[in-house]
Structure 1
Amino acid sequence: MSAQYIYDTAPLGSLIRYSNGEPRPPERFRRKLAAWNNDNGTGRLVERYPGQVADNYRSPAHFMLHLATYGTQGVIVMTVRRAYSVDSPLNFESVDTPKPGQVRVLTTFRDKDELRHLAADMASAEAWMRDNPYSGMRAEIVTGADLAVPSSELRRAA
């Protein structure tokens, strides 16, 4: 399915697979494999940005996927996130959506929500919020109404 469809329908916290449609090269072709890995992977939907139009500048709408977090002994050293434009030529698929009862930990900046953590329940979310202070954090319980398009329908639309 298209990036535009993911932008429009996938709820924050969804696990999104992206692909360029090419087969994975063998391990022995390290450069080709590195290039393939750049265009094929899975990430969690954490932000959406609306498009912007100015006099001499146009930015299409895009969304941000959280790809990985690196660290040791509870200290995060680096977070890898990547933005994808709704015009992206890659193929996208919703692999998993948040389940009702899970809790999103969100922050808001310039009227845009950003997912900081997806917890199994409110107690886990509150514990995470104590350990990871961000300004303006709030917890939001995922309900069935949040999941406007079920993941099975997202997969069939491709």
Structure 2
Amino acid sequence: MSALTIYENAPLGSLIRYSDGTPRPPARFTRKLKAWEHRNGIGRLVRKEPPHERPTYSSPATFVLHEGKFSASGVTLISVMCSYIVDSDLSFEVAERPAIGMVRVIQPLGENAELLHLAESREAAELWVSRKGYSSARLEEITADEVGADVVEGRAAMPAAVL
């Protein structure tokens, strides 16, 4: 699936797998393995940015994946976020969509929004917000309309009688 399809159809909070189609090199080739891991991985979709047109500069639409974080003693030291443009040469797929009833904690960023946390329930989301202290965060519940979109997987819905 293309990066553009992810940008247009995948909901925030989805786990997105990306790949360049090459096989994983053996562990003994540490440099090749590190380069391969840079172009093959998985992350949670946390932000979508529309294209920007300026008089001297233009940028294509992008999306951002949260790929992990490094912590020590319960304190996050580094969050790894990677941005991908919609005409990327990588292949993308939705590995997992947020489940119905989960709640997104969203922080507005100008005209866009960034996913801060994906909670199992509204109570868990409210507890997370109170602990972290995000005053401008808003909560969005995942609905059946959002999760049931077969277009994200690139399939057409089949009538029950055909199955």
Same fold, judged at TM 0.5 (above): yes
Q: Which residue of 2 aligns with 1:89?
A: 89
- Give CA deviations for 1:109-153 in whole Å, capped at 9, x if unaligned: 111011000000111111111111223111111111223623xx5
What is the match of residue 28 of structure 1?
28
Q: Deviations over 1:12-68 (max 9, x none)?
A: 000000000000000011100000000000000000000011222110000000000
Greater Rg over alpha carbons, structure:
2
- The question of whether the paired residues in 2 share the 8 Å contact of 1:102 and 1:141 is answered with yes
Residue 74 of structure 1: CA displacement? Answer: 2.1
Q: Deviations over 1:75-114 (max 9, x none)?
A: 1111000000001100000000011100000010111011
Distance between the aligned counterparts of 2:145 and 2:78, measured in 1? Answer: 34
Structure 2: which 5+ residue stretches go unaligned? 156-163
TM-score between the two structures when normalised by the length of structure 2? 0.91
Q: Tell me the equivalent position of 1:19.
A: 19
**Contact residue 107 and residue 135 of structure 1 kept, 8 A:** no
How many angstroms apart in 2 are the aligned matches of 1:101 and 1:3? 27
RMSD of the alignment, in Å?
A: 1.3
Provide the residue aligned with 1:113 in structure 2.
113
Q: SS of 2:64's equivalent?
A: strand
Equivalences for 1:34-113 in 2 at 5 Å?
Answer: 34-113=34-113
TM-score, length basis structure 1: 0.93
